[in-house]
Amino acid sequence: MPRAGLTPDVVVAEAAAVADESGYERLTLAAVACRLGVALPSLYKHVRGLGGLQTGLATLAVRELGDVLTRAAVGRSGRDALVAVAAAYRSYVLAHPGRYAATVRAARPEDLDHKGASDEVLRTVLAVLRSYGLEGGDAVDAARTLRSALHGFASLEVAGGFGLPRDVDRSFDRMVAALDVALRSWPSTPPDR
Amino acid sequence: MPRAGLTPDVVVAEAAAVADESGYERLTLAAVACRLGVALPSLYKHVRGLGGLQTGLATLAVRELGDVLTRAAVGRSGRDALVAVAAAYRSYVLAHPGRYAATVRAARPEDLDHKGASDEVLRTVLAVLRSYGLEGGDAVDAARTLRSALHGFASLEVAGGFGLPRDVDRSFDRMVAALDVALRSWPSTPPDR
DNA sequence: CAGTGGGGCTAATTTTATTAGCTTCTTGGC
DNA sequence: GCCAAGAAGCTAATAAAATTAGCCCCACTG
């Protein structure tokens, strides 16, 4: 019997394909093994069960997302950077919904690879915010706001959560424009508890 | 053997408890049956399998969320209304993470009960936006922005997605303040494609 | 060329969902 | 108050998936 030539990366890459094509909830060791032409238990030589596959996929996806965002941000600042990063974020989620789902559901603080990859994302976002003049605590609050809006929009769009018959592209553009306004006036809008 | 006195509502209520306590991904017919002191297949007399349980839970949760939001909004307008609705949204998600997860993952356009319940949520949000002077297409865009931000923030918070050691309450307050700014200046910030 | 280790396998167990078909309680009509 | 019918529960059987154990053979290394 010829070797199948599996490695952890090959297995995780196939998992990414399954997740994107069939949905993250249908990512299954059985499906991955089948597509690789291999018996299910063979995968255990390369990944630590289903959980390991999920966290491996999460790390892959966060790394890809960080790449895409960094590329979008390079050479831009202010509104230009915001628009480019936001568009890149949404495109990635729409193109790879299964991978993206893994980043949210399989996040594990103790995984150093994953942590490194998500630091890259954070670095890019903070760089964009710096071009708005935001640093320190303000930047953290703004980063959370930005991430919430982008994550929320993309997640809801992928889940089919926008029922009304209005152009979704347009809504996204307006949300990004609103974020631009909010970031511009950030320092002068402290919350009043 | 005495009857257990199950009804669809009882089963779904137990499912809600399981989802909130153990997480939506561990919501299982087996767990619900066990907690109700009943054999697993008995549940099929009341719900249409796991899928039916999930959509039932989604409908319950959207209804509860609509209730909570409507109560928070009543008698308020403008920033007051926004702050109250946002706080209510976040509280609900933090108190009932499993139910809330069902609303996102088990949304089904063809389910009329579910549709009615989510229309209630939409109505409340649009009412808040009307107090900002937003109607029609602008209001739809703004509603999507609002929902994205609230959904994104709460989802990430529940998933433990905010790693940095900065107060999450404070970040939320600032996000809501930023949304208030954005809504106030909405009509004058068209996107420029 | 031989030994060793890794990469693949099959077999067995567990958990869950689902369907089929049986039994028994409850209830409504006489 | 009885009896028929249906609802509500059950057990049994089947199928999919994850996981563990243990085997076997191919591919390098010495």
**Which pLDDT score is estimated for A108?**
83
Asked if A79 contacts B192 with a C-beta cutoff of 8 angstroms, the reply is no
Contacts of B12 (CB under 8 A, 6+ apart): B47, B53, B56, B57, B60
Mean pLDDT score of chain A: 94
From CA A131, how far away is CA A147, in angstroms rounded?
17
E strands, chain B, are none
The length of chain B, given as a count of residues: 193
Give residue B109's pLDDT band: very low, low, confident or very high (50, 70, 90): confident
Stretch B14-31: mean pLDDT: 98
CB-nearest to A107 from B160, B164, B186 is: B160
What residue in A sits closest to B180 (Cα-Cα)?
Answer: A182
Over residues A131-169, the pLDDT tens digits come to 999 999 999 999 999 999 999 999 999 998 898 888 999
**Which pLDDT score is estimated for A192?**
56
Stretch A115-129: mean pLDDT: 95
Whether the CB of A9 is below 8 Å from some CB of chain B: the reply is: no
CB-nearest to A162 from B144, B175, B191 is: B144
Stretch B161-180: mean pLDDT: 93
Alpha-carbon gap: A114 to the closest alpha carbon of chain B (Å): 12
A residues 33..92 contacting B (CB < 8 A): none
Stretch A89-114: mean pLDDT: 93
**Which pLDDT score is estimated for A185?**
93
**Better-predicted residue by pLDDT, B175 or B166:** B175
Give me the CA A47–C1' D29 separation in Å, rounded. 26
Query: Closest residue by Cα to the C1' atom of nucleotide D16?
Result: A30
- Three-state SS for B157? helix
* Chain B residues 38-77 within 7 Å (CB) of strand D: 38-39, 41-42, 44-46
The model's pTM: 0.94
**Which pLDDT score is estimated for B191?**
62
What is the residue whose two structure tokens read 């529940």?
A: B158
Nucleotide nearest to A45 (CA to C1'): C7
CA distances from B23 to A30, B28, B57, B58, B114 (A): 24, 10, 13, 14, 21
Q: Do B161 and A186 touch (CB under 8 A)?
A: no
Q: Do B25 and A159 touch (CB under 8 A)?
A: no
Over residues A71-81, the pLDDT tens digits come to 999 999 999 99
- Three-state SS for A26? helix
Q: Do B140 and A107 touch (CB under 8 A)?
A: no
What is the residue whose two structure tokens read 């954070």?
A: A122
